[in-house]
């Protein structure tokens, strides 16, 4: 059986440092209290370097959210190539989604509403397209794990339910204040999902 290797992106590039700094600043201070000089200072880059990549706060914070969504997309795209099948693939998927949500829980509230601080309507529309692409990736995984092609009556609802179970565990972690890695809960997600979704393995 194949193992799932995390998708690695270059953490040392200036662009990634800027995105990481913008995310930290957004969590600490909120969109309204940040100027681009603050982010350049936090990232340890010159303001001119920041402007080479992002011309405005809207563009920068849209990129922060897009980076999170794209990161999950890369992980979901890699999963069907692992050779895993059936429940093993679904379990690996749950671990990937839970781990992603665990590391992104500071952004979970915004991601659920379709509105993102500092992002205009056009930017929000592009971000929602990225969310829809991840929904499609998840649909492809559920189709792959379903026995004999026996899909749930409403595949879109099943995908939403899977993501919602992972989000629920994220919120529970925040409320309970524990520090256990969420991916340890993957078996619970898969068991609950299979009992209520209609997917047959």
**Whether pLDDT at 41 is above 90:** yes
Q: How many CB atoms lie within 10 A of CB 25?
A: 22
**pLDDT higher at 12 or 84:** 84
Q: Which residues of 73-109 are buried (b: 16+ CB within 10 A; e: fewer)?
A: bebbebbbeeebeeebbbbbbbbbbbbbbbebbebbe
Look at the block and give the residue holding tokens 């980076």: 67
**pLDDT higher at 189 or 111:** 189
What is the pLDDT confidence band of residue 7, given thresholds at 50, 70 and 90?
Answer: low
Q: How many CB atoms lie within 10 A of CB 111?
A: 18
Using CA atoms, how far apart are residues 107 and 113, in angstroms rounded to an integer? 11
DSSP state of 8: -
**Whether pLDDT at 138 is above 80:** yes
Using CA atoms, how far apart are residues 180 and 163, in angstroms rounded to an integer? 19
What is the pLDDT confidence band of residue 88, given thresholds at 50, 70 and 90?
Answer: very high
| Per-residue pLDDT reduced to its tens digit, 50-87 | 999 998 888 888 888 888 889 999 999 999 999 999 89
Look at residue 33 in the predicted model and tell me its pLDDT. Answer: 76
Using CA atoms, how far apart are residues 165 and 147, in angstroms rounded to an integer? 22
Q: Do 25 and 107 touch, CB atoms closer than 8 A?
A: no
Using CA atoms, how far apart are residues 72 and 96, in angstroms rounded to an integer? 8
166 burial via Cβ count (<10 Å: 0-12, 13-18, 19+): buried
| Per-residue pLDDT reduced to its tens digit, 149-167 | 667 778 899 999 999 999 8
């Amino acid at each position: 059986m194949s193992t799932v290797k995390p998708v690695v992106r270059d953490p040392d590039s200036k662009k990634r440092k800027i995105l990481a700094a913008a995310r930290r600043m957004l969590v600490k201070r909120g969109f309204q209290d940040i100027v681009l000089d603050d982010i350049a200072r936090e990232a340890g880059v010159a303001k001119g370097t920041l402007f080479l990549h992002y011309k405005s706060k809207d563009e920068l914070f849209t990129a922060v959210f897009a980076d999170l969504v794209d990161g999950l997309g890369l992980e979901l795209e890699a999963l069907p190539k692992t050779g895993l099948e059936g429940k093993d693939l679904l379990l690996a998927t749950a671990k990937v989604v839970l781990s992603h949500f665990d590391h992104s829980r500071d952004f979970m509230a915004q991601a659920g509403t379709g509105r993102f601080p500092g992002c205009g309507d056009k930017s929000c529309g592009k971000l929602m397209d990225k969310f829809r692409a991840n929904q499609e990736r998840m649909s492809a995984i559920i189709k792959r794990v379903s026995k004999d092609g026996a899909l749930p009556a409403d595949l879109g609802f099943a995908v939403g339910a899977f993501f919602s179970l992972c989000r629920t565990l994220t919120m529970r972690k925040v409320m309970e204040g524990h520090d256990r890695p969420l991916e340890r809960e993957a078996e619970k997600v898969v068991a609950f999902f299979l009992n209520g979704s209609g997917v047959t393995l």
